[in-house]
């Protein structure tokens, strides 16, 4: 199975998946840490995939999404974005709206606390 097929299978079979540097418990870059921190704080159940473990995967996810940077968040098969986009969506409430629309469980109070702390 090609790297592209492996990525497609994971994205299609997992509600929320974060391709990142490191893991959700031990991120290996600040951008991955920020996105994982948001998802962790909001109580989102997600699969983390460490792109540092496989150079083919690291390049493959960039080709798959046509997005040049890591991390990359997918929700119900849809590419959402990287660190800057997830940060903006969190602060604007758009991430809540996306999770609501896609049926992803998260802690609304935690999401509000993030916005309050960054107001």
Q: Which residues are annotated as a binding site for [2Fe-2S] cluster?
A: 29
Pairing of strands 47-50, 16-20: parallel
Asked if 37 and 6 touch (Cβ cutoff 8 Å), the reply is no
Torsion sign (Cα): 42, 33, 47, 18:
positive
Q: Which residues are annotated as a binding site?
A: 29
**Three-state DSSP class for residue 48:** strand
């Amino acid at each position: 199975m090609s790297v592209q097929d492996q990525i497609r299978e994971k994205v299609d079979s997992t509600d929320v998946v974060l391709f990142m540097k490191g893991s959700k418990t031990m991120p290996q870059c600040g951008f991955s840490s920020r996105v994982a921190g948001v998802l962790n704080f909001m109580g989102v159940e997600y699969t983390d995939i460490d792109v540092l473990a496989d150079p083919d995967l690291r390049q493959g996810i960039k080709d798959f999404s046509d997005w040049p940077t890591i991390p990359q968040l997918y929700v119900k098969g849809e590419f959402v974005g990287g660190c800057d986009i997830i940060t903006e969506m969190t602060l604007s409430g758009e991430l809540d709206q996306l999770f609501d629309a896609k049926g992803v469980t998260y802690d609304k109070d935690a999401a509000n606390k993030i916005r309050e702390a960054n107001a």
